[in-house]
Amino acid sequence: QKEVEQNSGPLSVPEGAIASLNCTYSDRGSQSFFWYRQYSGKSPELIMFIYSNGDKEDGRFTAQLNKASQYVSLLIRDSQPSDSATYLCAVRLVFGTGTRLLVSP
């Protein structure tokens, strides 16, 4: 079992919709959780990090963490075509395989 699991997608949403990306992890002692965005042919860039249970909002992005369920998610509100990318969940230094998001105009 991989330590960090993500659905590879693609997740297709229309422009303006909410995109919901999910991630589960196996190490119950994990303390820090990250979401990186990676455009095709580019390097990953950090968009959100969360350390405490609950929600953390930054602009159109909301990260949600539930340590009891070992679950972290990323919500993207008002999705734009420019949000089309692969979203990587990371638990400290361990990455999931990423979820490809496609936002159609």
Partner 1 sequence: DAGITQSPRYKITETGRQVTLMCHQTWSHSYMFWYRQDLGHGLRLIYYSAAADITDKGEVPDGYVVSRSKTENFPLTLESATRSQTSVYFCASRGPTTSTTNEKLFFGSGTQLSVL
> Could you write out the DSSP letters of every residue in 66-89?
ETTTTEEEEEESS--GGG-EEEEE
Of the pair 75, 94, the CB lying nearest partner 1 is at 94
Convert residues 42-71 into a mask of x (bound to partner 1 by CB under 8 A) and - (unbound).
xxxxx--x-x--------------------
- Residue type, position 68, single letter: A
Burial 55-81, CB ≥16 within 10 A → b, else e: eeeeeebbbbbebeebebbbbbeebee
Of the pair 12, 32, the CB lying nearest partner 1 is at 32
34 interacts with partner 1 by CB under 8 A:
yes
32 interacts with partner 1 by CB under 8 A:
yes
Strands 99-104 and 11-14: parallel
CA-based torsion, 17, 23, 28, 32: positive or negative: negative
82 interacts with partner 1 by CB under 8 A:
no
Of 24, 85, 95, 100, the one binding partner 1 (CB under 8 A) is 95
Footprint of partner 1 on this chain (CB under 8 A)?
31-32, 34, 36, 42-46, 49, 51, 88, 90, 92-98
